[in-house]
Amino acid sequence: MKFSASTVLLAAALGVSAHPHGAVHNHVHRDTNLEVRDQFVKNVKPTSTVFKTVTVPAVNALAAPTSSSSAAVAIAATSSKAATTTSASSGTVGSSGSYTDDFCTGASKRGSVADNAYSGNTGSTTYGCNLKFVEESAAKNYQYITVLENAASEKQVCACFLKTGPDGKSFTGFWKGNQVLDFELAPGAKKYLAVQAATIGGCSCGVGALPYTSFGQISGVWLEFEYGSSNNPNFSGADASSLVPEKYGQTFQGLTITSETPELVQGYEKKSIIFPNGDGCNAFPKGTAENDGHGFNLANTAKGGDAIRLHAKWGTTGTLAADCPDVTEGGKPWRQVRG
């Protein structure tokens, strides 16, 4: 799902599934050049600006970066953080065509298909309103759900974010203060993240505290996702990535992403894993920043079509030999030894 080819290890994040389509994902962290943040591999940048600068009140205690190099993306977090748990207000069953879309209120202000393909859906009326937590009992009412779980024995401090920040620029959503949701997971706890179609984003967790780089970029091991892609009609995808913490010499934990709708996954194995030692399985460990095609794609998921359910667990353990098949698919090895 790689978000970008020339922006981010420094601004790096959202790896391979933010651009799922059959076999190629597009991830956010490919380049260590902090100055370049305006490209999304294999997408064509819109010729006109659709997203306007959004001014929103700061509602959390996280300070924005103070260095001049990152000041441009230090936009305050939005008020959408306040509502972290919401039950569905419409829709009753999770079968095809009956999902609720009660994310954002008011008239739609989204960009065109081309614009969303480049920047992703950022919420029609309020930045970040396309991501929200719902109760487990309400999850069946939404087409796109990611279960976020703490598999460790200690509390996790986490955040979920969008590829595009509140300033309307790509690759600014995963900087301190720009995240959409801040939350904690007790050992064994789960949260159900509902995501609106055409959304490109991710989540990251850290034991005891949410990790950042010295530049203010959210680090830790990342879940990267795209649901109902507008660029690659209606495909969805996800991957695990440790590119950011590896780039900056930070420690990180294991992350395992699986699909609760495996019949829709296109590929041999239905998972993407970063192991605690830095190895990966169908993922983006160190040394894979320039690669494409890792992570998994999910079949055509047009609005009102099949339900897509991903499950991400932070704090998992394991090894390549025990937990990852020694196979090659589409020219890509599923086992990846940390580069």
Residue ranges of the domains in the chain? 71-336
Would you state the pLDDT for residue 332? 85
Higher pLDDT, 86 or 129: 129
Would you state the pLDDT for residue 3? 53
**Which span out of 82-96, 120-134, 225-239, 272-286 was modeled with the highest average pLDDT?**
272-286
Number of helices followed by number of strands (H, E) in the chain:
3, 17
38-63 mean pLDDT: 30
Lookup: tokens for 168: 């309307």
pLDDT class of 87 with cuts at 50, 70, 90: very low
pTM for the whole structure: 0.76
Helix, strand, or coil (residue 245): helix
**Lowest mean pLDDT, pick from 88-97, 122-131, 179-188, 325-334:** 88-97
Tell me the DSSP string of 54-68.
------SSPPPP-ST
Q: How far apart are CA 198 and CA 97, in angstroms?
A: 17
156-165 mean pLDDT: 96
**Which span out of 2-11, 65-74, 97-106 was modeled with the highest average pLDDT?**
97-106
Mean pLDDT across the chain: 74
259-281 mean pLDDT: 90
37-56 mean pLDDT: 30
Residues in contact with 314: Cβ distance below 8 Å, sequence separation at least 6, in sequence order: 148, 149, 150, 151, 152, 156, 158, 185, 205, 221, 253, 254, 255
| Closest-CA residue to 203 (of 231, 178, 181, 235) | 181
Would you state the pLDDT for residue 174? 96
pLDDT above 90: residue 124: no
pLDDT above 50: residue 42: no
Would you state the pLDDT for residue 232? 75
Would you state the pLDDT for residue 24? 31
116-135 mean pLDDT: 80
Q: Which CATH architecture has domain 71-336?
A: Sandwich (2.60)
**Lowest mean pLDDT, pick from 48-62, 193-207, 272-286:** 48-62
For Cα atoms 16, 20, 22, give the angle at the middle one, nearest 5 degrees: 125
Higher pLDDT, 89 or 245: 245
pLDDT above 90: residue 233: no
Q: By the 8 A CB rule, do 162 and 128 touch?
A: yes
pLDDT digits over 287-339, tens only?
999 888 889 888 777 878 889 999 999 999 999 999 998 988 888 889 999 98
pLDDT class of 16 with cuts at 50, 70, 90: very low
Q: How far apart are CA 64 and CA 170, in angstroms?
A: 17
Would you state the pLDDT for residue 297? 86
Would you state the pLDDT for residue 104? 84
**Lowest mean pLDDT, pick from 57-71, 99-113, 277-291, 322-336:** 57-71
